[in-house]
A and B are shown apart, each in its own frame.
Chain A
Amino acid sequence: MDTAVTAKKKWWAGGYSPFNVNYGKLMMWYFLLSDAFTFGALLISYGTIRFSSPSWPDPNEVFKSFPGMGHANLPLMFVSLMTFILIMSSVTMVLAVHAGHHRDRKAVAKWLAWTIVGGIAFLSCQAWEWTHLYHEGAWWGRNPFANVDGTVASTNFTNFFFTITGFHGLHVTSGVVLNIVILINVLKGTYDDRGHYEMVEKVGLYWHFVDLVWVFVFTCFYLL
């Protein structure tokens, strides 16, 4: 039936949105495209510098601690947990959006709240990791980790790590703030009055984007 409607209607002839979305969602998509370029530029810069460096520290050696586990050698365990948390928060966001389609206020509030919890948990993990690295002597302009071939590494390993994960963390933070604002509106019944839960979809888009970016950040800094 949808196809029949599409064939009949001239979507680009004016008077309608050609993509069948309202302007807010369209703007969000274009904003995400723009933001993808911001992260793209940062990650490509990282790649450029890394490829022009003779050697680079081994992430398995750097990221091997886990809170409460002392000096146990657990490479990438903690960051896997962080990633898992963030991806789970994306799942709860999907459920919140889905509940929004059915205008189920309680379910939206529940899943949105879980998403916020997931976001805060991720940020807390990041705070722990940063603190831990800081105590190991790593910071902007300071890099205690040696290259994988044993030579002294330049500080750009930590420079890029803190800048890009920090920039991503800033995005997660603003995502959490947005989610909280939307949750308050959901609880107040704003979207029931409006007749649709599209705002949840819009912050959902942002949240998934931030997750997607993490996948790239994770790959670039922890796996490669």
Chain B
Amino acid sequence: MSNEATLHSQQEVMHGAGAHDHHDHEHHDSFISKYVFSMDHKMIAKQFLITGIIWAIIGAFFSVLFRLQLGYPDATFPWLESILGHWAKGGRITPEAYYALVTMHGTILVFFVLTAGLSGTFSNLLIPLQVGARDMASPFMNCLSYWFFFLASMVMMASLFVQTGPASGGWTMYPPLSALGDASIGSKIGVDLWLTSMALFVVSQLLGGLNYISTILNMRTKGMSMTKMPLTIWSFFFTAVLGVLSFPVLLSGFILLLMDRHAGTSFYLSDIFIAGKALANEGGSAILYQHLFWFLGHPEVYIIILPAMGMVSEVLAISSRKPIFGYLAMIGSLFAICILAFLVWAHHMFVTGLNPFLGAFFVLLTLLIAVPSAIKVFNWITTIWKGNIRFTPASLFSIGFVSTFISGGLTGIWLGNSSIDIHLHDTYFVIAHFHIVMGVSAFFGMFAGIYHWFPKMYGRFMNNTLGYIHFWVTLIGAYLIFWPMHYEGMAGMPRRYFDYSTWASFNQFEGLNQFISFVVILVFATQLLFVFNFFYSIFKGRKMTTQNPWKATSLEWTTPIHAGHGNWPGEIPEVHRWAYDYSKDGRDFIPQTEPLGPNESAH
């Protein structure tokens, strides 16, 4: 009883607060409280997105730089020296710079762009709008979440400019290389800054994730049962659960690593020689770090891909004017992926000395992921099957997502087998696999989301023609870049090497490497076109004239074009049906807010 009363009064408080916020918005929002330390989830989403875009440009530019080295190992580019200084003496990237660039490319893209930039943006934007809430459960923690991310970004950015350069032991930061400052120039203060930045990042993820989970569970509007939610919300929910449970383990791993670096401990260190001198460290295990890292690291790839899956599901249903096929199967497979995500980490460690008997179980569990993944793929295809598809840039990117997810996912079945992995591990095959299935696919989901929800964010549309150019060049370019890498990998070409030209076995790939690098530059330029489109459209894009331009059923399109803080000017609408009533009973779409008709059955 007392609980009941508490909850009821809390809801009144919430509603009151919402109305009050709205009131606030109209009267005394200063620049600082509106654009900088904003507590409006929509503004925080834009902050995450724009910070993510800036990081994406930097991270992708780094890949252009190291692809220059890989494609044209003998050429010199004097302009490199003018931007990189002694890291590119004489216009050629030094090996140290090369390793710093690959490390930072991985770190930036995996964490800062595809984790914070992706789920940070769209969880923030869509959760309150699609479940029917005034804002996140705790707007203040939400604001803190962004600013911790910003701090993490600043520290990581600073690490690019220190004398000894940023961390350069690979984005996985394996000890002993990362634990010993004397091991390489890239293991000095760069690694400390990297670890600090990542610790701040984990805090940001935790604050965000707790908010997403409790908003989804607690703040759904009347009638919005869990099975009436759009799949976007389900995917953000599982993403947040994965983050909340896996990032703390990474943090523990980092604490121990930091101790090994500075407190003289030997958690990860044992029997090491540096420059012919034996170190005193004894009793630690470098493999321990790998277990801790990949316990996050594997869920992390689902943290990256699940939001993209959710948005693609939504966009595909809307643009093919059909209900999503197998709604419950979609939720079930998200759930299955979420569980399996925690049980497969050691497939990243098949060749590190893991007991082969243990490896067999990880093979089995890894291959099991193919089942929910295949269910999702079939459901996407059957959703667009015979649909009256509207080929907007968002829907093209969604279809592109399905394509890359299939072609990248299939190679995952190869790599998931521990015996094949003996041959393929640490080759370009692995690079091709994870870039297609996780990098390109997640980016496609993100692009779909941006093109689709841009009107909701800025009240304007992005330019379609530029969007089509962006899509086709990126799709074809992505395949041209990564497809050949499969062959290089199968031929045994190892990853992470600075120069293959002196290596007789891989000389034959000189032309292919050049070709890949050329396409990389082209695709990078096309992404800049997208960035231009994005920023230009914020100010000059075609204005939105109707609330619901895509004729979608979900709640975010029932808010005003420029929704204030609090989202709905009056009462929050009540929900009566699921989010996928498209082409039902002779009607193009029926919004979630419309009650079921007298002769109508729920889906």
Docked-complex contact B266 and A155, CB < 8 angstroms: yes
A39 to B252, CA, bound (A): 8
A160 to B260, CA, bound (A): 11
Task: For B585, list chain A residues within 8 Å (CB).
Answer: none
**Interface residue B354 (Cβ < 8 Å from any Cβ of A):** no
Task: For B217, list chain A residues within 8 Å (CB).
Answer: 17-19, 26
Nearest residue (CB) in B for A140 is: B263
Docked-complex contact A140 and B214, CB < 8 angstroms: no
Interface residues of B in 276-302 (CB under 8 A from A): 282-285, 288, 291-292, 295
Chain A 11-43 per-residue mask, 1 if CB under 8 angstroms from chain B, else 0: 011111111111110110011011101111110
Docked-complex contact A23 and B206, CB < 8 angstroms: no
Chain B 201-212 per-residue mask, 1 if CB under 8 angstroms from chain A, else 0: 000001001110
Task: For B547, list chain A residues within 8 Å (CB).
Answer: none
A38 to B218, CA, bound (A): 25
Task: For B3, list chain A residues within 8 Å (CB).
Answer: 20-21
**Interface residue B219 (Cβ < 8 Å from any Cβ of A):** yes
Which segment of B222-230, B325-333, B398-406 sits at the interface?
B222-230
**Interface residue A159 (Cβ < 8 Å from any Cβ of B):** yes
Nearest residue (CB) in A for B291 is: A48
Size category, A interface: 35 or more
**Interface residue A154 (Cβ < 8 Å from any Cβ of B):** yes
**Interface residue B407 (Cβ < 8 Å from any Cβ of A):** no
Nearest residue (CB) in A for B270 is: A154
Docked-complex contact B266 and A37, CB < 8 angstroms: no
A163 to B295, CA, bound (A): 21
Task: For B4, list chain A residues within 8 Å (CB).
Answer: 5, 20
Interface residues of A in 130-164 (CB under 8 A from B): 140-142, 154-156, 159-160, 163
**Interface residue A3 (Cβ < 8 Å from any Cβ of B):** no
Also in contact, A141 and B249, with CB within 8 A (given A1-B1, A14-B223, A30-B214): no
**Interface residue B264 (Cβ < 8 Å from any Cβ of A):** yes
**Interface residue B2 (Cβ < 8 Å from any Cβ of A):** yes
**Interface residue A219 (Cβ < 8 Å from any Cβ of B):** no
Task: For A12, list chain B residues within 8 Å (CB).
Answer: 225-226
Task: For B137, list chain A residues within 8 Å (CB).
Answer: 23-24, 26-27
Task: For A195, list chain B residues within 8 Å (CB).
Answer: 9
Docked-complex contact B283 and A155, CB < 8 angstroms: yes
Task: For B251, list chain A residues within 8 Å (CB).
Answer: 38
Also in contact, A23 and B225, with CB within 8 A (given A17-B7, A48-B285, A140-B259): no
**Interface residue A216 (Cβ < 8 Å from any Cβ of B):** no
- Chief secondary structure at chain A's binding surface: helix
Chain B 483-504 per-residue mask, 1 if CB under 8 angstroms from chain A, else 0: 0000000000000000000000
**Interface residue B50 (Cβ < 8 Å from any Cβ of A):** no
Nearest residue (CB) in A for B572 is: A15
**Interface residue B100 (Cβ < 8 Å from any Cβ of A):** no
Task: For A15, list chain B residues within 8 Å (CB).
Answer: 220-224
Nearest residue (CB) in B for A141 is: B264
Also in contact, A23 and B218, with CB within 8 A (given A53-B283, A163-B259): yes
| Shortest distance between the CB of A219 and any CB in chain B (Å) | 18
- Contact for B206 among A20, A22, A31, A39, CB less than 8 A: A31
| Shortest distance between the CB of A183 and any CB in chain B (Å) | 22
Docked-complex contact A14 and B211, CB < 8 angstroms: no
Docked-complex contact A27 and B138, CB < 8 angstroms: yes
A30 to B205, CA, bound (A): 13
Also in contact, A41 and B265, with CB within 8 A (given A5-B4, A21-B3, A48-B288): no
Docked-complex contact A45 and B267, CB < 8 angstroms: yes
- Contact for A20 among B7, B219, B222, CB less than 8 A: B7
A202 to B128, CA, bound (A): 24
**Interface residue B601 (Cβ < 8 Å from any Cβ of A):** no
**Interface residue B215 (Cβ < 8 Å from any Cβ of A):** yes
A33 to B244, CA, bound (A): 8
Task: For B247, list chain A residues within 8 Å (CB).
Answer: 34
Task: For A41, list chain B residues within 8 Å (CB).
Answer: 248-249, 252-253, 292, 295
**Interface residue A74 (Cβ < 8 Å from any Cβ of B):** no
A5 to B4, CA, bound (A): 10
A33 to B283, CA, bound (A): 30
Interface residues of A in 45-65 (CB under 8 A from B): 45, 48-49, 52-53
Interface residues of B in 291-342 (CB under 8 A from A): 291-292, 295
Task: Name A residues whose Cβ lies closer than 8 Å to a Cβ of B.
Answer: 1-2, 5, 10, 12-24, 26-27, 30-31, 33-35, 37-42, 45, 48-49, 52-53, 101, 140-142, 154-156, 159-160, 163, 167, 195-196, 198
Pairs across A and B, CB under 8 Å, 13 listed: A13-B224, A22-B6, A23-B214, A24-B138, A27-B141, A30-B244, A31-B210, A34-B245, A39-B252, A40-B249, A41-B253, A140-B264, A159-B267
Q: A39-B252, A49-B285, A154-B282 are in contact. List 9 more A-B contacts (CB 8 A).
A: A13-B225, A14-B223, A26-B214, A27-B137, A34-B206, A48-B285, A159-B263, A159-B266, A198-B6
